[in-house]
Amino acid sequence: MSAASTLIGVIDLPGNERDALVDAIARDGVAVCAVDRAADLPDDISLVVVHARAVPSCEWHMLSNRWPTLVVSAKRDDDDLLKAVDAGLVDYVIDPLRHAYLLRRMIRRVLDVHRLAQQREADRRRLEELNENLETHLVMLRLDQQAGGQIQRRLLPARSQQFRDICCDYWMAPSLYLSGDFLDIQAFNERYTLFYFADVSGHGASSAFVTVLLKYLFNQLQSQWDGLYPEQLPPRWLKALNGELLDTGIGKHATLFVGVIDQQRHYLHYSLGAQLPMPLLKSGSETTILEGEGMPVGLFPQAEYPQLGCDLPDDFSLWLCSDGVLECLPGDSLEVRLEELRSRVMESENLESMRRSLALGTRGEDDDTDDPAADREELPDDLTIMLVSGFRHEC
């Protein structure tokens, strides 16, 4: 507040002493309005200087509640000093004309303090308004994410499906509402079953959008395939998906496993897009890691993906886990946790026993709720386990 825009109110009895007091205050360049009583003061004053002879001490409290108030007096009165303290006055100056320089310094200090208090109050109101807007946007964002999560779950295949001699089940728990993990499995015909398991980088809305793209491209792939050369299908689809992700320019990449099960040959055609942890193939007392490696999808324009395959035993189960599952396992290194995962797979007969061994509880079972107000505890990462089994394996 500039001195020119500052208006100081003076309440004193008319006369030479009041005029002298006004002149003394106005030397700092502030405007001064002198009145006989408080009721005549304008509303826009910044400070009131009250002479004790014009306003009784019983009215000081009323003034100080409305404006910063400074009392001046011609003489010292100890009783008035105590009342000034009780009334909350900013100061009490004795013989103001003799100490005019001190009076002006006090007025400047009071004005500075008052200006800072006004700024703090304005800042507080602005922060309250911003906080209220933020809370509103957070509620809207939460509702949007819950709605998106419900749509995403409806894009997933049904659980506990059977495709002739092949069974599939899965368990998925998003980090919060939307998941970057996704999977699908579909029967192309009586002979071939197509499936994939994906883990998109990050989690949240942008990762979930990529899973919608995966769903669309997978359906497109299946509709355009003529049923010939199944060994070429997984790497061809990964390459196409790599180009699509790069073209979107959203900066997202994914790890994927794509498989085609030939139920006639008992054979798995597959390709890898940096899947971690690697799929585990269990049969009898043996659990092996599928061979091969490939680059992640959505990072390298010229990436080529391997054409791989393996025989499927009569009684097999293929386990695919997202990397979030590794965070549920003990161990100080990745190698230790991968070996622990392999051990858990060895000991697990089905998806439920695997969940129990990882102490995952019931998380994910209530994710089919349509209640947008349902609150959930945020997980450190999306968790997904997919189990594909056959031919004589009990589903």
Q: In this predicted model, what pLDDT tens digit does every residue of 133-158 receive, in sequence order?
A: 999 999 998 898 888 888 888 999 99
Angle made by CA atoms 102, 11, 116, in degrees to the nearest 5: 55
Task: Please state which of the ranges 126-130, 303-307, 325-329 shows the lowest mean pLDDT.
Answer: 325-329
**Numbered ranges of CATH 3.60.40.10 in the chain:** 156-390
Task: Give mean pLDDT, residues 183-205.
Answer: 91
Task: Please state which of the ranges 77-86, 96-105, 217-226 shows the lowest mean pLDDT.
Answer: 77-86
Q: Does position 114 have pLDDT exceeding 90, yes or no?
A: no
pLDDT, residue 162, reads 93
374 or 227: which carries more pLDDT confidence? 227
pLDDT by residue (tens digit) across 59-73?
888 888 888 888 888
pLDDT, residue 24, reads 92
- pTM value? 0.71
Query: Measured in Å, how far apart are the chain's first and last C-alpha atoms?
Result: 79
Which residues are paired to 390 by β-bridges? 316
Angle made by CA atoms 193, 194, 199, in degrees to the nearest 5: 145
Which residues are paired to 51 by β-bridges? 72
In words, the CATH class of domain 7-121 is: alpha beta
Query: For residues 203 and 311, what is the distance between their CA atoms, to the nearest angstrom?
Result: 34
**Numbered ranges of CATH 3.40.50.2300 in the chain:** 7-121
**How does strand 286-289 pair with strand 280-283?**
antiparallel
Task: Please state which of the ranges 27-36, 134-143, 378-387 shows the lowest mean pLDDT.
Answer: 378-387
pLDDT, residue 94, reads 86
Task: Give mean pLDDT, residues 289-293.
Answer: 94
pLDDT, residue 281, reads 96
pLDDT, residue 379, reads 67
Q: Is the dihedral of CA 182, 186, 188, 190 positive or negative?
A: positive
Q: Evaluate whether 290 touches 270 at the Cβ level (below 8 Å).
A: yes
Query: For residues 159 and 148, what is the distance between their CA atoms, to the nearest angstrom?
Result: 20
379 or 109: which carries more pLDDT confidence? 109
pLDDT, residue 175, reads 81
Could you tell me the two tokens for 271? 């390709």
Task: Give mean pLDDT, residues 106-122.
Answer: 89
Whole-number mean pLDDT of the chain? 88
Query: For residues 316 and 308, what is the distance between their CA atoms, to the nearest angstrom?
Result: 18
Task: Give mean pLDDT, residues 269-276.
Answer: 94
pLDDT, residue 249, reads 85
Task: Give mean pLDDT, residues 1-23.
Answer: 84
Q: Is the dihedral of CA 220, 223, 225, 231 positive or negative?
A: positive
Assigned CATH topology for domain 156-390: Phosphatase 2c; domain 1 (3.60.40)
Q: Does position 16 have pLDDT exceeding 80, yes or no?
A: yes
